[in-house]
Chain A
Amino acid sequence: MKGLKSCFVKSFSHIYVEEGIEENPLTKEILKKFPKALKVRIKHYKDVFCRPRQNFFVQESSRKLILAAKKGELLYRGPDICHDFGNENFYYTSPALNCIYSCDYCYLKGMHPSANLVIFVNVEDYFKEVEDILKQKPLYLCISYDTDLLAIEGIIALSAMWIEFARGKEDLKLEIRTKSANYSAISYLVPASNVILAWTLSPTEVIKKYEKNTPPLELRLKNIIRAIGDGWKVRLCFDPVLYFENWETAYENLISRTFSMIPADKVNDASIGVFRIPRDYLKRMRKNFPPSEIIHYPYIETGGVYTYDEEVKGKIIEKLWSLLKKHIPEDKIFIL
């Protein structure tokens, strides 16, 4: 039997480029970074991304890159299962689809038909849509939900572009969520007061077992220290919180380690989110992925969303709340 690596073509061996964006400067910049990749011309990104019967699980071992221009609606209303952190006009947008990490619990595995990474290069169109909305109302916008934007900053500096775009726009508040240890990619920027860098933090046990390819906790914390030190607003996201053997000890260790390194008074706010996932996404994940403690846990369904039963959920929230409030004022902790 051949080893894993020897039977797979390398990730990003092929780059699919949508017709009409060949001359876009971002397309050119990305293609320059992959000189050995085969370029394949496509009419529409969905011709590749949305093919029937794709195997997400297999594709994760040899992801391809798809460059496209997003048409139609570019900003979406924030869903109820996500935190709005007390903000009105909560929207999210997807400058990219999919992520270079592979977390067992990630809803993207059930949401998208493909594991390939799509980057939309028409960033100016996104900016225009934001500006149009800002003419009517203020906006709280999350730009790194269906991807990890900072993790792919080496491929394309979208986080930096968004930060520069947001700078000085008082009615716009931006959240960039990440698990990466790639702060250095944007550390040259002057902090923007309306941009929040949000790090997802998980116990080391969870990172090792369920968050494949993500940086270890220590590295994430070191990145947070640097970002805070430089003057950025930083959000800590304990989301999703998972229920597993010895979960209480794992989260106790996580919180104590976090605040032994990070000055709590410098943290902008924090969130607690018990694992939850739309029914259809979980159904698809159960069908397409091998047995997993996370995917196959017997969750309870309420209103089309699977999560732990009330008893487990209550225990998790109570525990995390009591741990967090020792370090962060209660009005800065958001629970979902």
Chain B
Amino acid sequence: MFYIVTAYHAEAKPIIEYFGLKKVVKNSRFQVFAGEEVALVESGPGVVASACATSFLLAEFEATDRDAVLNIGIAGAKNINLKKGDAILCHKIIYHDTKRAFYPDMIARHDMKEGVLETFDFPVIKGNFPEDRIEGDAVDMEGAGFFEAASFFLPPHKVHCIKVIHDYLEGVRVEPSFVSDLIRKNLPLIEGFMSSLESIDYLFSVGLSGKEKEIIDKLAGNLKLTFTMTHQLKNLILFYLSKHERLPGELYDFLNVRVNSKSEGKIYFERIKKLLC
């Protein structure tokens, strides 16, 4: 599942349309839209709002390590080498207020430019704020809050900020339809990146399947296995699967056994151990 956090509806609108998301009707502080593979939340502006909305979305949808989360929105550029409309995948996000920096794992292939994002608690306008105190190539008001919150839930190769350059910090008025256009034009690039993340997740998923977990749970219950024995059983199953494509048929016979005492369970456990070793 991909989770997306935007600040404004103008940023969310093209994404909602592109992925065919539907509004989730639920009494909540945030506007949420979801489809089969993508869910989006509109946070509103600011670091705290972004952190809250990110936490809300990831908790509400019970995000796991297999999911990824993106913060997509517009930003102002300090670096004049970045063009208006360029999508920037941020390899470093600095929270200006504390100078704390966050680093996503830059592992998945993409065709965007890269840069450093600096998040401020206030709109940065050239002339009102000394330019030499801006460390980032681009400036926003959400990235650091989003990243810190998302990092509580997901690994760093699954948390990313993508910012589309909107202005050069001249303090220009933000026109919603222009913002939507900027985001819309970059969605194929963003989708390409999402596809890389998805492939990596598919190729590198680790652990037992749902069916194997069910077998362990059932055996543990029926045979009254202790916590340690259940853990050993899981490890033995993984050991067996490292050498064989599927679990041995005889293991399924044990699923029908129900014991009356732990000592009886221990006898069956030893038999399973022999079978899997």
Residues of chain A having any CB pair with chain B under 8 Å: 1-2, 4, 6-9, 13-14, 16, 38, 40-43, 47-48, 51-55, 57-59, 61-62, 64, 286, 288-293, 295-298
Q: What chain B residues lie within 8 Å of A9 (beta carbons)?
A: 106-110
Instruction: List 24 contacting pairs A-B, 8 Å CB cutoff, sorted by A.
Output: A1-B199, A1-B202, A2-B199, A4-B203, A6-B199, A7-B200, A8-B107, A9-B106, A13-B106, A14-B91, A38-B106, A47-B101, A51-B156, A55-B157, A58-B157, A59-B105, A59-B107, A64-B105, A286-B235, A293-B243, A296-B239, A298-B232, A298-B239, A298-B277
Known contacts A53-B151, A298-B277; decide if A62 and B203 are in contact (CB<8 Å): no
Q: What chain A residues lie within 8 Å of B200 (beta carbons)?
A: 7-8, 58, 61
Q: Min CB distance, B201 to chain A, in Å?
A: 9
Q: What chain B residues lie within 8 Å of A7 (beta carbons)?
A: 108-109, 195-197, 199-200, 203
Known contacts A40-B91, A286-B235, A290-B206; decide if A54 and B155 are in contact (CB<8 Å): yes
Q: Would you list which residues of chain B between 145 and 189 have a CB under 8 Å from chain A?
A: 151, 154-157
Q: What chain B residues lie within 8 Å of A8 (beta carbons)?
A: 107-109, 196, 200
B114 interface residue per 8 A CB criterion? yes
Q: Min CB distance, A37 to chain B, in Å?
A: 11
Q: What chain B residues lie within 8 Å of A296 (beta carbons)?
A: 235-236, 238-239, 242
Q: Is the CB of B157 within 8 A of A52?
A: no
Known contacts A8-B109, A57-B204, A298-B239; decide if A42 and B151 are in contact (CB<8 Å): no
Known contacts A7-B109, A53-B151, A291-B242; decide if A59 and B103 are in contact (CB<8 Å): no
Known contacts A52-B151, A53-B155, A62-B107; decide if A298 and B242 are in contact (CB<8 Å): no
Give the residue name and chain of the A residue nearest to B204 (CB): A58
Q: What chain A residues lie within 8 Å of B195 (beta carbons)?
A: 2, 7
Q: What chain A residues lie within 8 Å of B92 (beta carbons)?
A: 40-41
B241 interface residue per 8 A CB criterion? yes
Q: What chain A residues lie within 8 Å of B103 (beta carbons)?
A: 16, 40, 42, 47-48, 51
Partner of B114, one of A38, A42, A47, A57: A38
Q: What chain B residues lie within 8 Å of A298 (beta carbons)?
A: 232, 235-236, 239, 273, 277
Q: Is the CB of B101 within 8 A of A54?
A: no
Contact residue range for chain B?
35 or more
Give the residue name and chain of the A residue nearest to B236 (CB): A298
The docked-state distance in angstroms from the alpha carbon of A195 to that of B238 is 42
The docked-state distance in angstroms from the alpha carbon of A38 to that of B241 is 40
The docked-state distance in angstroms from the alpha carbon of A82 to that of B260 is 47
Q: Is the CB of B206 within 8 A of A288?
A: yes
- Top 4 A-B pairs ranked by shortest CB distance? A296-B239, A291-B242, A7-B199, A7-B196
The docked-state distance in angstroms from the alpha carbon of A189 to that of B52 is 60
Give the residue name and chain of the A residue nearest to B242 (CB): A291
Q: What chain A residues lie within 8 Å of B277 (beta carbons)?
A: 298
The docked-state distance in angstroms from the alpha carbon of A64 to that of B105 is 9
Q: Min CB distance, A127 to chain B, in Å?
A: 31
Q: What chain A residues lie within 8 Å of B110 (beta carbons)?
A: 9
Q: What chain A residues lie within 8 Å of B243 (beta carbons)?
A: 293
Q: What chain B residues lie within 8 Å of A57 (beta carbons)?
A: 204, 206
Give the residue name and chain of the B residue nearest to A57 (CB): B204
Q: What chain B residues lie within 8 Å of A288 (beta carbons)?
A: 206
Give the residue name and chain of the B residue nearest to A52 (CB): B151
Most chain B beta-carbon neighbours within 10 Å: one of A7, A286, A298: A7
Partner of B238, one of A1, A51, A286: A286
Give the residue name and chain of the B residue nearest to A1 (CB): B199
Q: What chain B residues lie within 8 Å of A289 (beta carbons)?
A: 206
Q: What chain B residues lie within 8 Å of A59 (beta carbons)?
A: 105, 107, 157
Q: Min CB distance, B55 to chain A, in Å?
A: 15
Q: What chain B residues lie within 8 Å of A52 (beta carbons)?
A: 151
- A-contact bits for B228-257, CB 8 A (1 contact / 0 none): 000010011011011100000000000000
Q: What chain A residues lie within 8 Å of B242 (beta carbons)?
A: 290-293, 295-296
Q: What chain A residues lie within 8 Å of B155 (beta carbons)?
A: 53-55, 58
Give the residue name and chain of the B residue nearest to A13 (CB): B106
Q: Is the CB of B204 within 8 A of A14?
A: no
Known contacts A47-B101, A291-B239, A292-B242; decide if A58 and B107 are in contact (CB<8 Å): yes
Q: Is the CB of B241 within 8 A of A54?
A: no
Q: Min CB distance, B133 to chain A, in Å?
A: 16
Known contacts A9-B106, A47-B101; decide if A53 and B199 are in contact (CB<8 Å): no
Known contacts A42-B103, A47-B101; decide if A54 and B156 are in contact (CB<8 Å): yes
The docked-state distance in angstroms from the alpha carbon of A7 to that of B92 is 21
Q: What chain A residues lie within 8 Å of B241 (beta carbons)?
A: 291
